[in-house]
Amino acid sequence: MALQPSLRQLIVAGSHDAPHTLDIFLDYVCPFSAKMALTIDNVLKPFFSKGGKYDGKVKAVFRLQVQPWHATSTLTHEAGLGVLRASPENFWPFSLLLFKNQTDYFDIPASTLTPIQIREKLALLAAEIIPADAVEQVKDLLTLKGSPNGGVAVTDDLKYNIKFSRQNSIHVSPTVLWDGLVAQEISSSWGEKEWTAFLESKVLV
């Protein structure tokens, strides 16, 4: 499916020109999304990477699924987009780190923090992965500037992701599309066995 050029690093597994596409809609503060993110890293990336069984055949796109009933969802996704812009090669490692630390951004732990403090906390988390100069860029990208209601520097990228989800009627995470259609059978509980069977049924090797 479509992906604007500036967000191509959202392709987290497989080659950009692979004919088959898994669009995987995940929310950084959704426990089921965290489980699926680890599966992407441990199961799908080896399948789709160079030398893997589906090398050049399938790619996986991480679609940012902001869920407003999680109070910090917008802020965490802004941070992901900030890292994508400042240090694109580290977007997926940062995403995994954020998923592993997602409980810090759950409703109750974050309830006593201001949005500015949460953004600062996310920048410190990014500092564990990305170079120091990129950390400063992320901080700048997440700083409110301009008009009183204009958002931050990555707000337009955030809007793109939200609009993409809305126009495709994606409501919850995780949701997975196979070649543009919702694959209802795919679950966050799937492991290598289930993914192997699914891909064997869909891809002519």
Tens digits of per-residue pLDDT, 32-73?
A: 999 999 999 999 999 999 999 999 999 999 999 999 999 999
Whether the CB-CB separation of 178 and 190 falls below 8 Å is answered with: no
Sign of dihedral through CA atoms 23, 80, 152, 138? negative
- Expressed as residue numbers, the domain containing 86 is 5-202
Distance CA 106, CA 28 (A): 10
Q: What is the pLDDT along the chain (205 residues), one digit of tens a residue?
A: 688 889 999 999 999 999 999 999 999 999 999 999 999 999 999 999 999 999 999 999 999 999 999 999 999 999 999 999 999 999 999 999 999 999 999 999 999 999 999 999 999 999 999 999 999 999 999 999 989 999 999 999 999 999 999 999 999 999 999 999 999 999 999 999 999 999 999 998 6
How deeply is 42 buried, as exposed, middle or buried, from its count of CB atoms within 10 A (0-12, 13-18, 19+)? Answer: exposed
Half-sphere exposure in the Cβ direction for 83 (13 Å, CA): 27
Quote the tokens at residue 118: 């949460």
d(CA 54, CA 76): 31
Domains in the chain: how many in total? 1
CATH number, position 21: 3.40.30.10
What does pTM read for this prediction?
0.95
